[in-house]
Amino acid sequence: MQKNKDKSMFKASWSYNEAPESTDHIQIKKKYDLYINGKFSEPIKGKYFDTINPSTNEKIASVAEATFEDVDAAVQAAKKAFESWSKLTGKERGKYIFRIARLIQERGREFAVIESLDGGKPIRESRDIDIPLAANHFFYYAGWADKLAYAFPNRTPKPIGVVGQIIPWNFPLLMAAWKLAPALATGNTVVLKPAETTPLTALKLAEIIHESGIPKGVVNIVTGAGETGTAIVNHPDVDKIAFTGSTNVGKYIQKVTAGTGKKLTLELGGKGANIIFEDAAIDQAVEGIINAIFFNQGHVCCAGSRLFVQESVANNVIEKLKSRMDTLIIGDPLDKNTDIGAINSKKQLQTIENYIKIGLNEGGEIYQPDCKLPKNGNWCAPTLFLNVSQSHRIVQEEIFGPVLAIQTFRTIDEVIEKANNTPYGLSAGVWTQNGAKMFHLTQKLNAGVIWGNTFNKFDAASPFGGTKESGFGREGGLHGLKPYVKFD
Amino acid sequence: MIPNLNNLPVYDTTGVNERIARFCTRSIKSSSKVEGLKLALSMIDLTTLEGKDTIRKVQQLCYKAMHPHDTLKNIPTVAAICVYPAFVKEAKKALHGSDIHVASVATAFPSGQSSLEVKLLETKFAVDQGADEIDMVISRGQFLAGNYQYVFDEIAAVKEACGKAHLKVILETGELDTLDNVRKASEIAMYAGADFIKTSTGKIQPAATMPVTYVMLNAIKDYYLKTGKMIGMKPAGGISTSKIALQYLVMLNEVLGEKWMNKNYFRFGASSLTNDILMQLVKSETGIYQSINYFSKD
Amino acid sequence: MSRLNIQKTYKLYIGGKFPRTESGRYFAINDNKGNLIANMCLASRKDFRNSVVIARNIQSSWANTAALNKGQILYRVAEMLEGRKEQFIAELIAQGETPANAKTEVLDAIDRLVYYAGWSDKYQQFFSAVNPVSSSHFNFSSVEPVGVVAVIAPENQSLLGLISVIAPAIVGGNTVVVLASETKPLTAISFAEVLNSSDVPGGVVNILTGKRAELAGQMASHMDVNSIIYCGIDEKLIKSIGELASLNVKRTIFYKKHDWTNEVCESPYLIEKTQEVKTTWHPTEI
């Protein structure tokens, strides 16, 4: 009897043919304008930029670039609309938001396809995760609109006013839902800027908002890049800023809004610790690693990008992880079998490749499965760095890509200390079948979201957000209302 | 030697279900679908295990096994016929000339609640009558009571009684309560001499499910890594449509891979699945949805 | 040539189906002028008994349906009712309401369904708690539905009242067996048709039409019913219900005087009335 540890023993032989999602039912315009005061209007300075399909690097559409003048128009529209919107009964406000939820559900497949085209994520994820979560988020907060009296014991909540919201490119529609739904439910009016590499689903959402009959000026969507964002952040008539994005930009926003009286919530970066104990359900823990770092190509602020494996099971876990990685399919985001799609932009790909170089220079042991990457477009193979430590840069800095840094640990106290040893504090994962150990860890880890025996789970009813440099404020659940109200 | 049952992997059901869901969202199309359908067909143990079975019924089933749908070219026959011991001889005669195996249940199937003597006698009888494969049941009561040595010894004894015949060990996962127990029972069966581990008798609900099959496939994988020996797997009962069968094949493909993707190491215990696969094959060829009226029901 | 209408048959609503009463009996509902509007099934105690069996069987899976799902189902009931509001307004008028009151009642009923739909995934956060116990334990209290709830629906405001009482019960995961208004039962059965077309699983809501005098005692004494809700002001009946309920320590809920159009009637505390609190401990030391 020969003991054969050769991984090729378990090679998958049956290849699934191309299974492209059909795209002939979707509608994308050649040119998109700004949505201000209830209609689509051309940008005042007449500038447009291209939005690209990152899996082919081909242009999809031209999108308006909002300058300060456009942002001002949007803010004024929001300010005017606030007078009547905030006075509407909660019941009626809620009905508009329920309509938005329903309309997203009805057009779900179209949204999913456009999300994958514009951003690069696999259709399986946009179809099964992003779009349903987005619709559910509107549904959840619609129900709050007429129940705010219960939300804050002994306090009467009031809307803040005009809210400026800036969202990232990793979950474009979902982030729009996370921002808009609670803001509207609590009676605020909004100026929202989607990320410049993924404006399309926000613009399709603008169509739905229009169809819902929501009064003009309540929601305004202005597309653009850094300058547009700066214009929103600095506008004197914006009463609150909600930002999700990189920690560096978040710090900048905190700095420039200091002393202005603007309310602020930030949801920034992370370097989540994913901890596997020897008494974990190992097979599911390995699956959890895959979900933690390769879901959405690792473009997740709460990604489990630092793996800690208890030394006694490390070899076993890493072997199983490599074996599982061999079955991941990297390819066309619109293929239903694709597990890992395209990297969102050339810029992000360069960032990731740069970090991989750094990791190699730092002496990390790299592993990538033998996968054929498509020719055109932005692609990165799922990557492991083994035998690294807390002092490696790739363990400290957020890479925002499918790159996992793996360390071993020996004791519970050791891993708690290492997991917490970071300026970030967004998420953590713990894998053990021992209940007391689980509760001990969840109590000691410094993170806003802790996943026990799971990872990257989101729900409209569950508050999400970070501690330390991962930001402040929560989105989802009862706690997600707080950022959008003020009290007398 | 009974293996150490203390450090076996444990399973989190929610996590397992999520992994299964990923298998089920794979989209199998065109040529890979036809390939999968034909493979599934070749893996079927066409089964009749009813109190009301007669020789004639079994003979008709055997003909169907050899002639699934003669108007379709280039399709494989099923892997085996699975019957009660009383019909092994006639089935063997009816299948003469084909390479379709005769599998017989034995050991007081389906309950297993009888003496070891009776079980071994029944096994030897079936083998003497010509059975190529024996599908035995483990003693679930003994297992749940913690008498693992008993379960182990029983399987080893039946394996010896099988002689040259292959032994499939039915765990009856629907009675084992937890995935951890399924893992434990798999381990005992493999170390005791099973050539195949099988999920169910098909006589109780639930029969085969993807989660228990997943656990068993992983048990087989770990066993191979430890001993170098390949064990086969058979989910039985409840796999009635091509869609489900393909999902199982995706799982097999991504857990164990190409070496197990054949009838020597994977079987489906099914009956109505056959016609559903045939209908799907004809639909793939013609593009037209089919009716059962155009396929034989034996 | 004038066209003859197909007249509607009003049956009971049990287990997602519309059977007649097993007793074969009926009672007539007439309009103000004494003309027959419809014959209603006169439900028997056996109908009630059968309904409880069905409500019990489905209760566990209904309770375990995701909160969001329950909310979406209730929202769909509202969608369906909105689509048929003219029919309900006409039926209320036939039962004796003024057109203005009928319209208000129907629109309020729709909005009330939306109101409770919105609570489906939120009330838990109010009535649950993480409790700071002194020992090294994680201790949390969460709410669970009582189970099967028998409901004697309001006599007046027969649509809005019925919905105001059953929506909070079912959004909380209970299943209900309802005795509709005795004098104005039509809208209850028409409402059953709305429920039936809204993805509400059969058996979650069961609606009987009949006489209180005959059925109230059965409803209050049934040993497999966990809670009883009575809407009315008959003090003798309240006492009798309370006494019979003590046989299995049923939770009793009485709504005496209520104008169900009043927004005070919309409250998460109505959901709480048919919830139980479960407290769980788990060690946290390694």
SS3 for A145-211, per residue? CCCHHHCCCCCCEEECCEEEEECCCCCHHHHHHHHHHHHHHCCCEEEEECCCCCCHHHHHHHHHHHH
Q: Do chains A and B touch (3 or more CB pairs under 8 A)?
A: yes
- Please say if the pLDDT value at position B262 is more than 70: yes
Closest CA to B255 of A283, A294, A285: A283
* Domain co-membership, A243 together with A302: no
Which candidate from B10, B36, B227 shows the least CB-CB separation from A281?
A: B10
Beta-bridge partner residues of B82: B47, B103
Burial class (CB in 10 A: 0-12, 13-18, 19+), B291: exposed
Of C120, C122, C282, which has the smallest distance from its Cβ to A439's Cβ?
C282
Distance CA(B116)–CA(B103), nearest Å, equals 20
A83 and A174 assigned to the same domain? yes
> Are the beta carbons of A139 and C71 separated by less than 8 Å?
yes
What are phi and psi for residue C13, nearest 5 degrees? -125, 105
Q: Considering only CA atoms, which of B58, B286, B236 is closest in space to residue B136?
A: B236
Do residues A259 and A314 share a domain?
no
Beta pairing class for A485-487 and A157-159? antiparallel
Q: State the DSSP code for C178.
A: E
| β A306-310/A240-244 pair status | unpaired
All structural domains of chain B: 13-288 (3.20.20.70)
Domains and CATH numbers, chain C: 26-283 (3.40.605.10)
- CATH at A429: 3.40.309.10
In a domain, A24, yes or no: no
Closest of B254, B3, B47 to residue B135, by C-alpha: B47
- pLDDT for position A13: 84
Tokens read off for C268: 């998460």
Asked if C119 is an interface residue toward chain A (Cβ–Cβ < 8 A), one would say yes
* Mean pLDDT, residues A431-454: 97
Tens-place pLDDT, residues B30-69: 999 999 999 999 999 999 999 999 999 999 999 999 999 8
Q: Which of B75, B74, B87 is nearest to B47 (CA)?
A: B87
Distance in Å, alpha carbon of C121 to nearest chain A alpha carbon: 7
CA distance A351 to C269: 53
Strand segments (E) across C13-59: 26-30, 36-41
Q: Do B130 and B110 contact (CB within 8 A), yes or no? A: no
Residue B145 has pLDDT above 60, yes or no: yes
Q: What is the pLDDT of residue A9?
A: 85
Considering the domain architecture, whether residues A396 and A313 belong to the same structural domain is answered as yes
ipTM: 0.91
The answer to whether residue A459 sits within a structural domain is no
Please check whether residue A15 lies inside any domain of the structure: no
pLDDT tens digits, A166-224? 999 999 999 999 999 999 999 999 999 999 999 999 999 999 999 999 999 999 999 99
CATH number at residue A38: 3.40.605.10
Residue A236 lies in a domain: yes
Cβ separation C125–A478 shorter than 8 A: yes
| B53 a catalytic residue | no
Which tokens go with C227?
């809670």
Residue A152 CB neighbour total at 10 angstroms: 14
DSSP three-state, residue A330 = strand
In this prediction, residue B90 carries a pLDDT of 97
pLDDT digits (tens, 9 = 90+) for C210-223: 999 999 999 999 99
- CA B61, distance to chain mean position in Å, is 18
- Whether A443 maps to a domain, the answer reads yes
Number of domain units in chain A? 2
User: Residue A460: inside a domain, yes or no?
Assistant: no
Would you state the structure tokens that stand for residue A50, as one six-digit string?
């291209």
Q: Quickly tell me which residue has 């809501």 as its tokens.
A: C205
For residues A279 and A243, membership in a common domain is answered with no
Residue A5 has pLDDT above 80, yes or no: no
Residues A338-397: tens digit of each pLDDT: 999 999 999 999 999 999 999 999 999 999 999 889 989 999 999 999 999 999 999 999
Alpha carbons C143 and C161: distance in angstroms, whole number? 25
**Tens digits of per-residue pLDDT, B251-260?**
999 999 999 9
* Alpha carbon of C71: minimum distance to chain A alpha carbons (Å): 9
- A294 and A356 in a single domain? The answer is yes
* Position A142 pLDDT exceeds 70: yes
With contact defined as beta carbons under 8 Å apart, do A327 and B221 qualify? Answer: no
For residues B233 and B238, give the distance between their C-alpha atoms in angstroms, rounded to a whole number: 16
Share of chain A above pLDDT 70, in %: 99
**CA nearest to A277, candidates A368, A399, A379, A410:** A410
| pLDDT tens digit sequence for B180-239 | 999 999 999 999 999 999 999 999 999 999 999 999 999 999 999 999 999 999 999 999
- Of C184, C176, C207, which is closest to residue C194 (Cα–Cα)? C207
In chain B the first and final C-alpha atoms are separated, in Å, by 44
- Distances in whole angstroms, Cα of residue B261 to Cα of each of A326, B248, C42: 17, 11, 63
Residues of the domain holding A63? 31-268+467-487
Q: Which amino acid is at A65?
A: E
In a domain, A2, yes or no: no
Residue A1's pLDDT band (boundaries 50, 70, 90)? very low
At A11, the pLDDT band (50, 70, 90 cuts) reads confident
| Chain A: closest CA distance from residue C161 (Å) | 19
How far B255 CA sits from the closest chain A CA (Å)? 7
Mean pLDDT of chain A: 96
Paired with A464 in beta bridges are A475
Helix (H/G/I), strand (E/B), else coil: B27: coil
Cis amide leading into A168 (omega within 30): no
Of C67, C68, C283, the CB nearest to A436: C283
For C96-114, what is the mean pLDDT? 96
Question: Does A14 reside within a domain?
Answer: no
In sequence order, the 6+-apart residues with CB closer than 8 A to the CB of A128 are B25
Which position among A301, A302, A380, A469 bears the catalytic label? A301
On the CB side of A375, CA atoms within 13 Å amount to 0
Which residue in C189, C165, C177 sits closest to C19, CA to CA? Answer: C189
Task: Check if B163 contacts A (Cβ < 8 Å).
Answer: no
Q: How far is A439 from chain C (nearest CA, A)?
A: 5
Tell me: do A423 and A301 sit in the same domain: yes
Q: Are residues A78 and A212 in the same domain?
A: yes
What's the pTM value of the predicted model, to 2 decimals?
A: 0.94
Nearest CA in chain B to A279: B10
Instruction: Retrieve residue A263's tokens.
Output: 């309310």
Asked if residue A347 and residue A209 are part of one domain, the reply reads: no
Q: What is the mean pLDDT of residues A310-321?
A: 97
Same domain, A287 and A348: yes
Spell out which residues of chain A touch residue C68, defining contact as CB-CB under 8 Å.
136, 139-140, 460-461
Look at residue A113 and tell me whether its pLDDT is greater than 90. yes
Q: How many CB atoms lie within 10 A of CB B62?
A: 26
- What pLDDT does A7 receive? 63
Residue A371 is among the residues annotated as catalytic for this protein: no
Say yes or no: A283 and A172 in one domain.
no
How many residues are there in chain B? 298
The answer, yes or no, to whether C and B have at least 3 beta-carbon pairs within 8 Å is no
Q: Are residues A215 and A322 in the same domain?
A: no
The residues of A whose Cβ lies within 8 A of any Cβ of B are 1-5, 9-19, 124, 128, 279, 281-285, 287-288, 291, 327, 336-337, 433, 453-454
Q: Is C114 in CB contact (< 8 Å) with chain A?
A: yes
Q: For residues A25 and A195, what is the distance between their CA atoms, to the nearest angstrom?
A: 25
- Contacts B256 to A, Cβ<8 Å: 10
Our answer on whether C and A touch (3+ beta-carbon pairs < 8 Å) is yes
pLDDT tens string A224-272 = 999 999 999 999 999 999 999 999 999 999 999 999 999 999 999 999 9
DSSP A237-306: T--EEEEES-HHHHHHHHHHHTTTT-EEEEE-----EEEE-TTS-HHHHHHHHHHHHHGGGG--TT---E
3-state secondary structure of A309: strand
Q: Give the dihedral sign, CA A99/A105/A110/A115.
A: positive
